[in-house]
Structure 1
Amino acid sequence: MLDRAAYDRYLGAFNSRDYDGVADFYVDPPRMAFFGVVITSRQELKAFYAWLHDHVDETVEVLNFAASATCTAVDAVVRIVARKDLTREALDARGATGFLPIRAGYVQEIRQFIFYTTQGGRIEKVECALPLMS
């Protein structure tokens, strides 16, 4: 089970840009699909986040958390602070077609629902959804 204590360790690695530490929480190979990005290897995971975090500072704040033996669900606010322009063209070239462009100095706060399929306490698959805005 990926319980709250383990998830907090995972999030600590993510927020501190410890990509090897993040990858250690995944089965090998990982399966991630979110906003156009598809990641199917440990190296792809590390390369994507290294590229993204070269452009933006990203942190995740957990609002709600639930876990079972096979699923961890997180309701979170993802805060993006752009250090460099991240253009539509650059995002599309990385397959991040569902990401929003952002200019240097701007901030985006995005509520996300993140679902982790787990096996033996390791992440097997990640899926993300955004709430509908009214």
Structure 2
Amino acid sequence: MERAEYEHYVQAFNDRDYDKVLDFYAPDARIGFFGIDLSDRDAFKRFYSFLHSYVKESVVIERFASSDELVALEGIVRVEGLRDLTADVLKAQGLEQFMPIAKGEVQNMRQYIHYHLADGKFTSVGCTMA
């Protein structure tokens, strides 16, 4: 995957165009990070619809490498609280591993994200934070 194509993916994510984002994934893709399993379109949409009702999230790519089988990047995920996302709200959603964020608060997280590819589609994704 070329960087320009990946940037279209990131733009769709930043724009909250979940259908367009999911079009980059193979039908049986495994999407998992921080203990979350989003292995089907409905789970992905439920999770991000919930999260993005509380925060504005965007990805800035700093380093990018790719081949026919892998996309690897380092970047900053910026999260800004749109309304209070409390520990109680997170717990009710089974998301205790996430940090609460108050309205107006900004969190910048350095993340390392790897996508496995087959036939130009993501088959799995995982990430870690520094």
> Which stretch has the larger CA shift, 98-107 or 75-84?
98-107
Consecutive unaligned residues of structure 1, counting only runs of 5 or more, are: none
Cα distance in structure 1, aligned partners of 2:96 and 2:71: 25
> Are 1:58 and 2:71 matched, yes or no?
no
Deviations 1:108-129 (A, max 9, x none): 0000001111111111111011
Q: Which AA in structure 1 matches 2:7?
A: D
Q: Per the alignment, in what secondary structure is the counterpart of residue 90 of structure 1?
A: helix
Deviations 1:92-116 (A, max 9, x none): 3334333211111100000000111
User: Where does structure 1 differ by over 6 angstroms across 4 or more consecutive aligned residues?
Assistant: none
> Are 1:124 and 2:96 matched, yes or no?
no
> Are 1:19 and 2:56 matched, yes or no?
no
Q: Flag the 1:120–1:95 CA change in 2: closer, same or farther, 3 A.
A: farther
Cα distance in structure 1, aligned partners of 2:50 and 2:2: 29
Normalising by structure 2, we get a TM-score of 0.93
CA RMSD of aligned residues (A): 1.2
Normalising by structure 1, we get a TM-score of 0.91
Cα distance in structure 2, aligned partners of 1:59 and 1:18: 12
Could you tell me how far 1:85 is from its partner in structure 2? 1.1
Consecutive unaligned residues of structure 2, counting only runs of 5 or more, are: none
Q: Per the alignment, in what secondary structure is the counterpart of residue 89 of structure 1?
A: helix
Cα distance in structure 2, aligned partners of 1:71 and 1:54: 31
Aligned length: 130
